[in-house]
Each structure stands twice: as C-alpha cells, then as structure tokens.
Amino acid sequence: MASTMQSSVEDYLELLQNTPQETFCLLDSVGVNVSSFFRDTGVFEAVSDTVLPRLIAGISQNKSKELRVWSAGCSHGEEAYSVAIMVKELLKKNPDNVKPLIFATDMDQTALMTAKTAVYSRSSLEDTKLGLVDRYFTQDGDVFKLKASIKRMVHFSTDDLLSEECIAPRESLFGDFDIIFCRNVIIYFNNELQERVLTRLSHALAPGGYLVLGMTETLLGCARNMLETVDKKHMIFRKPN
C-alpha cells in the first residue's frame, strides 16, 4: 500500500482490481525467494546417487529418450540449475541416450528474470562442490556467472501452482514428469492448499516418477494414496508404475 501511495485497504483493493501489473508487484513483495544451489546437500546426493541413475537407466532401455524434470517454485533458478548440473555430470557417461528437458516455474516474474540471467553471489554457492563451481561458473569479481551449457538446459516460465487451469506448466505441453522438485514452497500454504498442490503434482508425474519435497514438508490428502515413500529422510516419494 505504501509503495502505491494508497492510504486505505479499500483504495488499494480498487487499484489492484484495475491494474493487472499491481498483482505481480504484490506477489513479488509477499513471496519468499530464499534458495541456494544444492540446498540440503543430502537430498541432492540421494537424487544424484539413486534416483537419477534409476530414471536414466529406465529411459535408456525404453524408446523414450527424454528425461522430463520440473522445478516447481524455482525462485531464482538455483534448484533447477543444480539439477541440470547433476544431470550433465551423470550423462557424461552416456551422452547420446537421454535428452534432458528441465522446466522451471514460479509465480514471481521478477525472480524468473533473475533466474534467466543466472548470475549468483558466492553465498548461494556455499553448498556446491568446488569442482562443479570451477566447471560450470565463471567468476567475475564478486559474482559467479553460470555457463551457457547449463543455462540452455532449463526452460523458465510463469506458473501459479494454485491455478486449476492445467496440471503441468503450459510450456511443458503435458504432464508426465520423471521427477518433480517442489521444495520449500507448500510450507507457506494452509493444509487445503497444500493438498491441492500435491494432488496436482501427483497427477503431473509419470508412472514411476519421483516427487521431491522440502525437508519440513510432507504428503497430505489424495497424494498419500497416489505416492509411496522412497526416502523419508530426504522427502523423496514415487508414483507406482
């Protein structure tokens, strides 16, 4: 209200209803965008050591060559790019077999613009192995610029997880993801909204696909029947085949 010089809630509401751009400004100002590369390293190790090799092996055996990943609530892109780095490292061994398609969405357009720029502070790389920093970033003074080879692996777009319009982000064409990361997003929602998002994500998973939640989040509602727990410690769940 202060930034738009409105002195009453009623006036602000009227402004909000008449100015679509203000909706984005409001969402930007109330959103929590805290993130970092390989946040909760144990989770990324579990995904890299167990989940991704299983998915890649399964894909290599089948006709489908795509490894479809969705980072839902991606903030400034750290999570999606961490996954891209892991996949790149794993695919060094069989580069031709699997085509990674990584979609990253957020409702916060400003965060997405930062994500596409892919320039990060040292602190956002605190949990990243030195070898990976050397390989995939270029240091420029105080900042670290992600290399194009990783940037071009991730497709960013706007998506409101609470929207009931479609299950998966439009740009992904359809659901059927092999793995969805939705970490530290639903923690801000009440139980009813958590259930709605979890149901949506469960539908967007391919049979045999994985859902990775934040360390303090868990399954609620229908999703509990649709998914099985794979790794309770790291909050990794799977949709049975």
Ligand X SMILES: C[S@@+](CC[C@H](N)C(=O)[O-])C[C@H]1O[C@@H](n2cnc3c(N)ncnc32)[C@H](O)[C@@H]1O
> Which residue, 92 or 233, has its beta carbon nearer to ligand X?
233
| CB of 87 vs ligand X, minimal distance in Å | 17
Handedness of CA 20, 23, 29, 33 (dihedral sign): negative
Pick the piece of the chain touching ligand X (CB under 6 A) from 10-18, 49-57, 58-66, 102-110. Answer: 102-110
| CB of 64 vs ligand X, minimal distance in Å | 26
Q: Which residues pair with 180 in a beta bridge?
A: 70, 211
To which H or E segment does residue 13 belong?
A: helix 9-18
Helices (H) and strands (E) in the chain, counts: 10, 10
> Which residue, 82 or 239, has its beta carbon nearer to ligand X?
82
- Does residue 106 interact with ligand X by CB under 6 A? yes
Return the number of other C-beta atoms located less than 10 Å from residue 187's C-beta: 13
The answer to whether the CB of 234 falls within 8 A of the CB of 226 is no
- Does residue 196 interact with ligand X by CB under 6 A? no
- Does residue 223 interact with ligand X by CB under 6 A? no
Candidate list 47, 146, 161, 223; residue touching ligand X; CB under 6 A: 161
- Does residue 107 interact with ligand X by CB under 6 A? yes
Q: x/- site string to ligand X, residues 15 to 54, per CB under 6 A?
A: ----------------xxxxx---x---------------
Cα–Cα distance for residue pair 47/240, rounded to 1 Å = 17
The C-alpha torsion from 115 through 121 and 125 to 131, rounded to 10°, is: 100
Cα–Cα distance for residue pair 224/194, rounded to 1 Å = 12
Binding residues for ligand X, total number by CB under 6 A: 23
| CB of 153 vs ligand X, minimal distance in Å | 17
Report in angstroms the alpha-carbon separations of 211 from 8, 97, 168, 205, 224: 43, 23, 14, 8, 12
Candidate list 160, 166, 171, 229; residue touching ligand X; CB under 6 A: 160
> Which residue, 98 or 180, has its beta carbon nearer to ligand X?
180
| CB of 208 vs ligand X, minimal distance in Å | 23
Q: Where do contacts with ligand X occur on this chain (CB under 6 A)?
A: 31-35, 39, 73-75, 78-79, 106-108, 111, 159-162, 183-185, 214
